[in-house]
């Protein structure tokens, strides 16, 4: 496989067909955004074993007491909020899945000679593949939850000793998760490009990855480096926004730095659209690279099936 051709063509595709950026933004809904965190340091006026300045803990306790009281007095508002959150979660999952499908299908169509992509057509053509791609991701995620949640509980109840005992197991599970992510990438492409069921798609993805270990590992490494590098760059403004507020709070001697935190919140809101678009473009490129990788490493057994009539077996 010509790696420079794949990487270069993926960029040309997403630059010419910017409609794919929308699907990349959708796909970003199903992933964690670029995040950052910071910690405050030593003591400056209070004892080091106190996590908050004097007077802060009592304010926090009053806040939670008032919040609990308010929830008890307004259960219907809480229920409505939970319902809205569930609807938003479902919408996020739907758009995230459709975004990934649209990127795979759009890349496939352009690689096959399509000169133009229309958002509405690409969106409708992605719908029949939703349940297959979603269910595969759900099953993989459920398997990891079943494995890691008991391990986390075991580590917590043993005061961290269990985590030390699980280091050899984690050393095995981490590479295994990378292998699974590669196979899932190829399986998703197989389901969308070759119109396969979940089981056939997984077999096809595994077959492509197994027969081309070197190329897929190199593509995984390249896309990981690109993703992490650009992710760190995108996180820098968030750190610039968050760190001054965190320092001000840590050194406030019990006074809440409302003005500075409000300014930090405003800056974050202004930066958020830039972050969402930039992350969407990044995801668009990476997914396009993986779709082209599948196309270069495989020979589809048949041209893509009619999207309106997907196979009945999941």
Instruction: Give start and end residues of each alpha helix (H) in the chain.
Output: 3-16, 19-28, 56-73, 75-111, 119-126, 130-157, 161-165, 167-193, 198-211, 213-250, 258-297
DSSP assignment, residue 311? -
Give this prediction's pTM: 0.77
Question: In whole angstroms, how far apart are CA 271 and each of 43, 167, 183, 268?
Answer: 32, 39, 35, 5
In the chain (314 residues long), the average pLDDT of successive 10-residue segments reads 90 94 89 42 40 49 65 77 91 93 94 89 93 92 83 72 72 84 92 92 93 92 93 89 72 63 82 92 94 85 44 45
Q: Are 286 and 7 in contact (CB under 8 A)?
A: no
Length of the chain in residues, anyone?
A: 314
Q: Are 205 and 190 in contact (CB under 8 A)?
A: yes
- What pLDDT is recorded for position 61? 61
Q: For 254, phi and psi rounded to 5 degrees?
A: 90, -10
- What pLDDT is recorded for position 78? 78
Q: Are 151 and 166 in contact (CB under 8 A)?
A: yes
- What pLDDT is recorded for position 40? 39
Burial pattern 27-47, b for ≥16 Cβ within 10 A else e, equals bbbbeeebebeeeeeeeeebe
Q: For 116, phi and psi rounded to 5 degrees?
A: -145, 145
């Amino acid at each position: 496989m010509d790696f420079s051709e794949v990487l270069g063509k993926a960029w040309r595709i997403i630059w010419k067909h910017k409609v794919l950026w929308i699907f990349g933004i959708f796909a970003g809904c199903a992933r964690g955004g670029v995040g950052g965190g910071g910690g405050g340091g030593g003591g400056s006026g209070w004892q080091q074993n106190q996590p908050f300045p004097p007077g802060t803990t009592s304010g926090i306790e009053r806040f939670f007491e008032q919040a609990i009281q308010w929830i008890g007095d307004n259960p219907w508002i809480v229920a409505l909020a939970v319902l809205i959150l569930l609807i938003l979660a479902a919408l996020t999952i739907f758009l995230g899945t459709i975004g990934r499908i649209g990127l795979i299908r759009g890349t496939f169509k352009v690689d096959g000679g399509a000169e133009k992509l229309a958002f509405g057509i690409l969106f409708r053509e992605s719908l029949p593949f939703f349940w297959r791609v979603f269910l595969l991701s759900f099953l993989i995620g459920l398997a990891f939850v079943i494995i890691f949640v008991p391990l986390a509980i075991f580590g917590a109840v043993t005061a961290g000793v269990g985590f030390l005992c699980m280091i050899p197991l984690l050393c095995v599970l981490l590479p295994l998760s990378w292998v699974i992510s590669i196979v899932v990438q190829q399986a998703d492409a197989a389901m969308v490009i070759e119109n396969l069921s979940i089981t056939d798609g997984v077999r096809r993805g595994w077959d492509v990855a197994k027969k081309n270990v070197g190329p897929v590992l190199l593509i995984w490494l390249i896309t990981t480096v690109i993703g992490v590098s650009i992710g760190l760059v995108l996180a820098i403004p968030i750190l610039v926004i968050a760190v001054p507020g965190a320092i001000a709070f840590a050194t406030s001697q019990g006074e809440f730095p409302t003005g500075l935190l409000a300014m930090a919140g405003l800056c974050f809101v202004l930066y958020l659209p830039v972050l969402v678009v930039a992350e969407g473009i990044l995801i668009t490129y990476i997914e396009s690279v993986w779709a082209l990788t599948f196309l270069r490493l495989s020979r589809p057994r048949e041209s893509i099936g009619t999207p309106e009539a997907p196979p009945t077996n999941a």
